[in-house]
Amino acid sequence: MQVPFLDLKLQYKSIKEEVGAEIQKVLDNTAYILGKPVSDFENNFAEAHNVKHCVGTSSGTDGNHLVLWALGIKPGNEVIIPANTFIATAWGVTLCSAKLVLVDCHPDNYNLDPEKVEAAITPNTKAIVAVHLYGQPAEMNKLQEIADKHNILLVEDAAQAHLAEYNGKKVGGLSVASSFSFYPGKNLGAYGEAGAVLTNDDQLAQMIKMKREHGQSKKYYHDTFGHNYRMEGIQGAVLGVKLKYLDKWTDGRRRAASKYRELLGDVNEIKLPAEMPNVKHVYHLFVIQLNGNDSAKRQERRDALQQFLNENGVASGLHYAIPLHEQKCFEYLGYKKGDFPVTEQLAESGISFPLYPELTDEQIGYVSDKVKEFFAK
Ligand SMILES: *Cc1c(COP(=O)(O)O)cnc(C)c1O
């Protein structure tokens, strides 16, 4: 049996006619950039997350930058982000020429550890970027308390967490502003690059809209610095169709995750992802860790498991193989190996199993059998 890590073709086939017709409309109307398909999608995406404003962008990375830029983050400011995230979270900070401050994740939920966040705050700290990693919301109440206490901003990178919930509330509106990605492999994926920013703040929404389009308040009137961070019409049309199915697809991801749990729950050699009691996890990724005290041995075992799965037709991923503080581009920050032990352990011994809405119970059974077979050897 072949189990790919992700199968975008299956989903495309299920909506081929509908999405094809909407793309054709964009071509017929030559609404290539922004326009009605994008504004319709913006309204629906905002509504789906119970947030007042949505601004469609050219990518999640650009959204990360827009949020911090519009909030006035500038050189001399420090911005806290998790060491355990995709690198695009960091670009939002570096593009504002602010200082990146990394903080380790919590060993249970792999999101920002609030206690370590508080310890990293200095008089120059201006913002915290909480990432809802793998589809599980970060501990927003604790982070908001810390942000309020120190009078700093809290924002969300929700690139992996469309429709996820925290204490019964959708992510995206749990902070002053949030950024989403519609990279094709994300829970809601465009047919190219796209992203969105959500905020309940009218003035901030206005500033983000201006910066998205060359800083203009109206055509040729450039009131502030900006850039070209607009969403394409075709992406808006595709996302508009796909958004209607997102609840169903999210259920499919959650079903797949609980099937893995059911089948792998008694494998002592691995640690399954924890689901916090007060959240709705949307399982962008299903990341497990190999247990054991010796880090070199854990990594060796993990690599062997990945190879064994590969030989048996099962693709897997590493999220993330090299933590941010060990990247060459961030050498200048002066961090060293050992600074973020939880993140480092995850990099050494974590492995992501295939998970997408269309994954069948049969495929999950096969993957689980192969995992058990590996540890029985
Ligand atoms: C995918 C991702 C991004 C970037 O989104 P793009 O649309 O690919 O630019 C940002 N942050 C996180 C956590 C992501 O997973």
Q: What is the pLDDT of residues 101-127, one digit of tens each?
A: 999 999 999 999 999 999 999 999 999
Q: Is the dihedral of CA 213, 96, 43, 205 positive or negative?
A: negative
Residue 235: pLDDT band with limits 50, 70, 90: very high
Structure tokens at 240: 């508009």
The residue assigned the tokens 């993957």 is: 367
9 — pLDDT class (breaks 50, 70, 90):
very high
DSSP bridge partners of 180: 196
Q: With 90 as the cut, is the pLDDT of residue 97 above it?
A: yes
Do 232 and 253 lie in one domain? The reply is no
pLDDT at 310 over 90: yes
| Percent of residues, the chain, with pLDDT higher than 90 | 98
Mutate to test the pocket of ligand 1, among 160, 179, 182 (most ligand atoms within 8 A of CB): 160
357 and 223 in one domain?
Answer: no
Collect all residues with Cβ–Cβ distance below 8 Å to 174 and sequence separation of at least 6. 137, 140, 144, 156, 166
Q: Number of folded domains in the chain?
A: 2
Question: Given ligand 1 and candidates 62, 186, 318, which is best to mutate, with the most ligand atoms within 8 Å of its CB?
Answer: 186
> What confidence score (pLDDT) does residue 25 get?
98
Q: Look up residue 26 and give its two tokens.
A: 């964009």
Q: What pLDDT is attached to residue 293?
A: 87
pLDDT of 295 higher than 90: no
Mean pLDDT of 157-171: 98
List Cβ neighbours of 109 (8 Å cut-off, separation of 6 or more): 136, 138, 139, 274, 276
Q: Quick one: which atom of ligand 1 is closest to the CA of 62?
A: 9
Return the ∠ at Cα 190 (arms to 201 and 14), rounded to 5°. 125
Residue 178 gets the label, from left (phi > 0), alpha (psi -120 to 50) or beta, of beta
What is the DSSP track for 211-231? HHBTTEEETTEE-S---B-BP
Q: Quick one: which atom of ligand 1 is closest to the CA of 186?
A: 1
Rounded Cα–Cα distance for residues 38 and 32 (Å): 10
Q: Are residues 238 and 263 in the same domain?
A: no
- Cβ(242)–Cβ(346) under 8 Å? no
Q: Is residue 270 over pLDDT 90? A: yes
Coil, strand or helix at 21: helix
Which amino acids bring their CB within 6 angstroms of ligand 1? 59-61, 64, 85-86, 88-89, 131, 157, 159-160, 181, 183, 195
Distance from C-alpha of 289 to C-alpha of 253, rounded to nearest angstrom: 19
Decide if pLDDT at 47 tops 90.
yes
CA distances from 240 to 9, 21, 133, 299, 357 (A): 18, 12, 24, 42, 18
Mean pLDDT value of segment 129-139: 98
Please tell me whether residues 258 and 288 are part of one structural domain: yes
Q: Please check whether residues 180 and 257 belong to one and the same domain.
A: no
Q: Token pair for residue 105?
A: 């994740």
CA of residue 341 to ligand 1 center, whole Å: 24
State the helix-helix crossing angle for 233-243 and 8-29, rounded to 10 degrees.
130
Q: Which among 232, 171, 240, 252 is positioned nearest to 6, based on CA atoms?
A: 252
Residue among 226, 194, 220 nearest 207 (CA): 226
> What backbone torsions phi and psi does residue 152 show, to the nearest 5 degrees?
-125, 165
Q: For residues 21 and 1, what is the distance between their CA atoms, to the nearest angstrom?
A: 34
Q: Band the pLDDT of 14: cuts 50, 70, 90.
A: very high
Phi, psi values for residue 97, rounded to 5° = 55, 30
CA of 265 to the centre of ligand 1 (A): 30
The pLDDT of residue 344: 97
In the reported structure, the alpha carbon of residue 61 is separated from the centroid of ligand 1 by a whole-number distance in angstroms of 6
Q: Which residue minimizes the CA distance to atom 2 of ligand 1?
A: 159
Q: Please give the number of the atom of ligand 1 that sits closest to the Cα of 63.
A: 9
The pTM score is 0.97
Q: Are the C-beta atoms of residues 246 and 240 closer than 8 Å to each other?
A: no
Residue 66 in this model has a pLDDT that exceeds 90: yes
- Ligand 1 centroid from CA 187, angstroms: 11
Among residues 243, 263, 296, which one ends one of the domains?
243
The predicted pLDDT at position 291 comes to 95
Whole-number mean pLDDT of the chain?
98
Residues 45 and 166 in one domain: yes
Distance from Cα 268 to the centre of ligand 1, integer Å: 33
Ligand 1 mutation target, pool 171, 183, 282, most atoms within 8 A of CB: 183
Mean pLDDT computed over 275-286: 97
pLDDT digits (tens, 9 = 90+) for 78-89: 999 999 999 999
CATH number, position 353: 3.90.1150.10
Domain holding 218: CATH number? 3.40.640.10
Rg (CA), the chain: 21
The per-residue pLDDT for 16 is 98
> Are 190 and 258 in the same domain?
no
Residue 293 belongs to what domain range? Answer: 246-376
Tell me whether residue 1 is in a domain: no
